[in-house]
Structure formats: C-alpha cells, structure tokens
Structure 1
Amino acid sequence: MSTVADKLAKKSTHKTSAKQVRLRLVYVDFWSAVKLSFLAAIAVAIVTVVIYFLVYTVLSTTGLIGQIDKFVGSLAGDGVSFSSIVGLPQVMAFAAVVAILDLIVITVLGAVVAGIYNLAVKVTGGLLVGFTSN
C-alpha cells in the first residue's frame, strides 16, 4: 500500500524543469504607488505614536523625568516645572503631529518616486525582473 508520505517522497525525487521568464518593468501606475505609499505611511505613523508612548513611559517609570524636573527647578527656580511642559498629553500631541507629517511626506515621496521612475524608464528602458516557476 502506498501512503501519502510515499507519494510525496516520489514527487520530491522528480526534478521538474523550472521555467524562467524575464520581464521588463516599464511602467508603475501612479495611483497604485500613491495607495501603497499611503498604507506604508499609516504603518509608520502608528509605529511612531507607539514608540513615543513607550519612550515616555520608560523615562517616566525610571524616574528620569523627575530628576530632570529637580535639575531644571534648581537652575531656574521653584516656579518652573519640566514635568508640566513634558507630560503625557503633550508628548502624545507631539507624536500625533509628527505622525501626520510622516503620513503626508511618505505619501508624497511615493508619488514622486513613481513619477521619477516612469520618466527614467523612457531613458533606461526599465528594470529587468526574472520570475521562475517551481
């Protein structure tokens, strides 16, 4: 009797000839590049906000912000508080602004790169890409 494992073993011993196709990438769709860069920008924005939160949490937990507050208080006087300037709401608002700027910049860069590639293809002929089937 032949089991499934025996059939798979027979299949693995046969060498199949892999077909190779070489294609030239001569056009990148502008709107597809913009959509893809927008999705990548959303991921970067989420990571940015999470990293800002984690860094603030670590600095707050280790007591470094309290020590900076004491140091600034000794230099400027007792009326100035560093922790009131750099609190969690202020840090998260700054992170949101940075994330929105990242979103805009990365999306525009994706569009610009697609446009530049489409112009460069006219000079270079495109990018040669090889595909194989296994």
Structure 2
Amino acid sequence: MSSVAEKLQRKDQRSSSAKQVRLKLVYIDFWSVVKLSFLIWLCLGIVLVVATVLIWVILFSTGVFGKLDTAFQDILSDPNFSIASSFGLPQVGLFALVVAILNVVAGTVLAAIAVVLYNLSVRFTGGLLVGFQNS
C-alpha cells in the first residue's frame, strides 16, 4: 500500500492539460462598486462602534479608569477629576458612531472616485489583463 505522499508525487508526474484563459477587465460597473463599498464600510462601521463600546465596558469594569483617575488626581491636584465622568459611555459611543458614519461616507466616495478613474484610464491603457488557469 502506498502513502499519500507517493500518490501525490505520481499525480504531479502526470501531465495535466491545463487550459489557460486570459481576459481583459475593461469596465467596472459604477453602481455595483458603490453598493459593495457602502455595504463593506457599513459592516466595518458597525464593528467599530461595537468594539469601541466593548473596550470601554471592559476598561470600566476592570477598574482601569479608577487607577487612571488616581494618577491624574495626583498629577493635576484636583480631587474631583474623573475620566469615567469626562469620557462616559454615551460620549464614547456617540463619538464612535460619528466616526463610523464619516468612514462609511468617505469610503463609499473614495471607491466611487476610484472606479471612475479606472474606467477613464482604460481608454488609455486598454484594461487590466487577468489570467486564469484550470488546474
């Protein structure tokens, strides 16, 4: 009985008829890219907001803010200073939401600009040559 390595070695020795296809990418649909980039950036925005809130909750529950409060109170000589009250969960969540919305808008606009520039540059370059091989 032969091992798996021997079977793979015999398989490589056989000449396979690999068919190769070369295609040119000469047009990218504008609205498809806009929709896809919007959905990708929307998912990333949701991940950003959830991750930010979770990190804040973990830092608050482990007492990191309390230790930072005592350090800053010693440095600033202000016994009423508190990071948790200055940067509470509503403020941090709202800031993360605003950043996520800006990322969605900016990412979608940049993808739209990129597809327009690509479609314009195809007139000069002839497109992107892509090769596929059947193995």
Give the TM bin, normalised by the shorter chain: 0.7 to 0.9
Aligned match of 2:19: 19
Report SS of the residue matched to 1:41. Answer: helix
Question: Following the alignment from structure 1 to structure 2, what is the Cα–Cα distance between the partners of residues 103 and 69?
Answer: 34
Question: Following the alignment from structure 2 to structure 1, what is the Cα–Cα distance between the partners of residues 83 and 59?
Answer: 13
Question: Following the alignment from structure 1 to structure 2, what is the Cα–Cα distance between the partners of residues 54 and 15?
Answer: 55
Code of the residue aligned with 2:20 in structure 1: it is: Q
Aligned-residue offset at 1:64: 1.3
Question: Following the alignment from structure 2 to structure 1, what is the Cα–Cα distance between the partners of residues 18 and 61?
Answer: 57
TM-score scaled by length of structure 1: 0.79
Structure 1, unpaired ranges of 5+: 1-11
Alignment of 1:49-60 (within 5 A): 49-60=49-60
Structure 1 runs (4+) greater than 6 angstroms displaced: none
Aligned match of 1:120: 121
Code of the residue aligned with 1:53 in structure 2: it is: V
Aligned match of 1:110: 111
The alignment-based identity, stated in percent, is: 50
Corresponding residue pairs, total: 123
Question: Following the alignment from structure 2 to structure 1, what is the Cα–Cα distance between the partners of residues 15 and 42?
Answer: 44
Alignment of 1:33-44 (within 5 A): 33-44=33-44
Q: What RMSD, in angstroms, separates the aligned Cα atoms of the two structures? A: 2.1
Question: Following the alignment from structure 2 to structure 1, what is the Cα–Cα distance between the partners of residues 77 and 99?
Answer: 29
Aligned-residue offset at 1:73: 2.8
